[in-house]
């Protein structure tokens, strides 16, 4: 299934995209697409509905973040061997974890606003995992059983804030609008192998990132197992699993960064497309 949240910011309704690409309303069956709705049993109940009985949503409403009430927004850094190489970084021994503020979360096509003073804002297309079942001390073999589904995240990053303002990466990762999520949450049964998904990102129509999740250093299952040994993962938690090469920071000989008026377009195989206009905060 492809589960969505549609409507004005803060007033989103739950929905799904049917096999013909038609948006249908789920508000009569679930309150929202959040952790409480993402257990295997509740997803099975949604899947068992007769889609033809669900109201067709008229027009082309805005899509909000495909999961609501995110408890933890976790990100894995330097998790693609080819991306680590372009930045000159060593291959990490363990997954590098940083947190992104949940206040950064916006819809997949919402405007990205560069913060005041930003000169080095960058793009990062990433596969994200949404937890559906509480995970604590899970094995790699069992880890994917705890996944509700997958979606796209643009891990927008202000590199100067990230590396030069002291502290850790969170400063450059958590600016408002720096976490577009969606367009939809694709349930795990539709993704046969999360370690073989093509992904791209364009800026102003120019291809910047081309990659595949097979070059991840740590697989989705390994990430979940590792994090679950450190703290409990709860339904609705989001893990963004890293980016392939082609970020602006890695451009040679001169890095390229986002500016007002730019347009980012992201795509991951089976997970849809995002499109964001870039503006500067006033």
Structure tokens at 189: 């049964």
User: Please, how many CA atoms are within 13 Å of residue 211, restricted to the half-sphere of its CB?
Assistant: 27
- pLDDT, tens digit, 9 for 90 and up, residues 48-78: 999 999 999 999 999 999 999 999 999 999 8
Question: 50: phi > 0 → left, psi -120 to 50 → alpha, else beta; which?
Answer: beta
Do 201 and 250 reside in the same domain of the chain?
yes
Residue 86 has pLDDT above 80, yes or no: no
| pLDDT score at 90 | 79
**Whether 16 and 85 share a structural domain:** no
CATH code at 111? 3.90.850.10
- Residue-wise pLDDT for 157-188, tens only, equals 999 888 777 777 888 899 999 999 999 999 99
What does the pLDDT read at residue 89? Answer: 72
Q: How far apart are CA 67 and CA 235, in angstroms?
A: 10
Confidence grade of residue 115 (pLDDT, cut at 50, 70, 90): very high
Count of structural domains within the chain: 2
Question: Residue 38 has what DSSP assignment?
Answer: -
Segment 20-55, tens digit of pLDDT = 999 999 999 999 999 999 999 999 999 999 999 999
pLDDT at res. 183: 98
User: How far does Cα 276 stand from its chain's mean position?
Assistant: 14
Q: Is 78 left (phi over 0), alpha (psi -120 to 50) or beta?
A: left
pLDDT at 248: 94
pTM: 0.96
- Do both 13 and 123 map to the same domain? no
Residues 39 and 167 in one domain: no
Q: Are residues 228 and 189 in the same domain?
A: yes
> Residue 282: exposed, middle, or buried by beta-carbon count in 10 A (0-12, 13-18, 19+)?
exposed
Given a contact cutoff of 8 angstroms between Cβ atoms, the answer to whether 91 and 202 are in contact is no
Q: What is the DSSP letter of 184?
A: E
Q: Which residues sit opposite 148 in a β-bridge? A: none
In a domain, 249, yes or no: yes
How many C-beta atoms lie closer than 10 Å to residue 79's C-beta?
27
| pLDDT beyond 90 at 131 | yes
Q: Please provide the size of the chain in residues.
A: 282
Do 29 and 81 fall within a single domain? no
> Do residue 107 and residue 33 come from a single domain?
no
* pLDDT above 80 (res 82): no
Mean pLDDT of the chain: 95
Task: Indicate whether 105 pLDDT > 80.
Answer: yes
Among 152, 93, 96, 128, CA closest to 220: 128
Classify residue 50 as exposed, middle or buried by CB count within 10 Å of its CB (0-12, 13-18, 19+). Answer: exposed
Q: Is 171 helix (H, G, I), strand (E, B) or coil?
A: helix
**Residue 153, pLDDT score:** 98
Q: What integer is the mean pLDDT of 147-162?
A: 95
Q: Using one digit for the tens of pLDDT, what is the confidence trace for 198-237?
A: 999 999 999 999 999 999 999 999 999 999 999 999 999 9
Burial of 170 (0-12, 13-18, 19+ CB in 10 A): middle
Candidates 132, 242, 268; CA nearest to 187 is: 132
Q: Which domain holds residue 270?
A: 73-280
Nearest to 188 by CA among 221, 139, 155: 221
Question: Residue 156's pLDDT band (boundaries 50, 70, 90)?
Answer: very high
């Amino acid at each position: 299934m492809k589960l969505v949240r549609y409507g004005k910011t803060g007033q989103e309704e739950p929905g799904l995209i049917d096999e013909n690409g038609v948006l249908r309303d789920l508000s009569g069956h679930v309150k929202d697409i959040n952790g409480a709705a993402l257990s295997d049993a509740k997803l099975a109940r949604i899947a068992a509905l007769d889609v033809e009985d669900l109201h067709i949503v008229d027009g082309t409403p805005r899509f909000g973040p495909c999961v609501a009430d995110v408890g933890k927004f976790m990100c894995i850094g330097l998790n693609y061997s080819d991306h680590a190489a372009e930045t000159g970084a060593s291959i990490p021994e363990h997954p590098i974890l940083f947190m992104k503020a949940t206040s950064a979360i916006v819809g997949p096509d919402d405007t990205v606003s560069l913060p005041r003073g930003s000169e080095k804002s960058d793009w990062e297309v990433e596969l994200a995992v949404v937890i559906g079942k509480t995970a604590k001390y899970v094995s790699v073999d069992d880890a994917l059983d705890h996944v509700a589904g997958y979606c796209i995240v643009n891990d927008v990053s202000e590199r100067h804030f990230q590396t030069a303002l002291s502290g850790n990466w969170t400063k450059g990762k958590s600016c408002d609008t720096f976490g577009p999520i969606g367009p939809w949450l694709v349930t795990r049964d539709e993704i046969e192998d999360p370690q073989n998904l093509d992904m791209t990102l364009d800026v102003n129509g120019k291809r910047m990132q081309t990659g595949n999740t097979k070059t991840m250093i740590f697989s989705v299952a390994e990430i979940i197992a590792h994090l679950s040994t450190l703290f409990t993962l709860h339904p609705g938690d989001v893990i963004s699993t890293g980016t392939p090469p082609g970020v602006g920071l890695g451009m040679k000989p001169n890095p390229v960064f986002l500016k007002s008026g730019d347009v980012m377009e992201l795509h991951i195989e089976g997970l849809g497309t995002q499109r964001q206009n870039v503006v500067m905060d006033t």
